[in-house]
Every structure is written in C-alpha cells, then in structure tokens.
Amino acid sequence: QAQVVESGGGLVQAGGSLKISCTVSGSRFDVFAMAWFRQAPGKEREPVSCITYNGQSTDYTDSMRGRFTISRDNAKNVAFLQMSSLRPDDTAMYYCALDRSPWRVDCTLRASDYVDWGQGTQVTVSS
C-alpha cells in the first residue's frame, strides 16, 4: 500500500495563487495516474484534476479548467497542483490519490478509480 502525503496548503487572498504537492512512497508511482479531489465543509467531495502515469494527458472539472494546472515529476515521486485566480469557493481540504490500475491511457475523475488517499492539505481563500 502506498503512502500519500499532501503538503503546501495555506491561507491565500482571493485572486492569488498556491501550489500544493503530493508525495508518494511505497509504490511504483510512475505507472499510476494521480488525481486531486477536494471537499469543503458540509459539501460532498468533488474531483479537481487528474494526470496519467506519464503526464501526457490531463483532465479537469470544468470550474477549475484554465485556473488549475496538474503536473508530476516521476523521478521524485511527486505530483503538483498549481492553483491560480483562487476564489473563496475554492476553500476546501485537498486530497490526492493513486489510481488503482496501472498504465491507464486516460485518467479518470471518478473517486472509485482511486485508492491510497492522503490525509489532505487545507486551502483557505479569503475574500
């Protein structure tokens, strides 16, 4: 079972930027897609973005497309989420997770396709 640790969250003003990280150990990181999800207080968890094992394909939830950028560095077993033009409604706990199936050609935004979730990193956007 992989260990997944998110980091880099914090408090940022509306319109600002923040880059969060997801470090994975104990697994072949470079053969699995990664995804970011988020959950705000009192709301259901929602998908944010995903990236294939080789970084060649990504996907985003529409409300984040164009503002957020997912990337990964397989040599360092780390994935990133660069967030820009942040809004107060982006405030949430952000989680990353590892795909349950290796070598997937396209990543998915279905939470059920992911295992080995981290504990999350809190992102708070002030107005």
Of the candidates 53, 44, 27, the one whose C-alpha atom is nearest the C-alpha of residue 95 is 44
pLDDT at residue number 32: 96
For 92-104, the pLDDT digits (tens) are: 999 999 999 999 9
> Alpha-carbon distance 127 to 29, whole Å?
37
Provide the pLDDT confidence category of residue 1 given band limits of 50, 70 and 90: confident
pLDDT at residue number 117: 94
DSSP conformation class of 65 = B
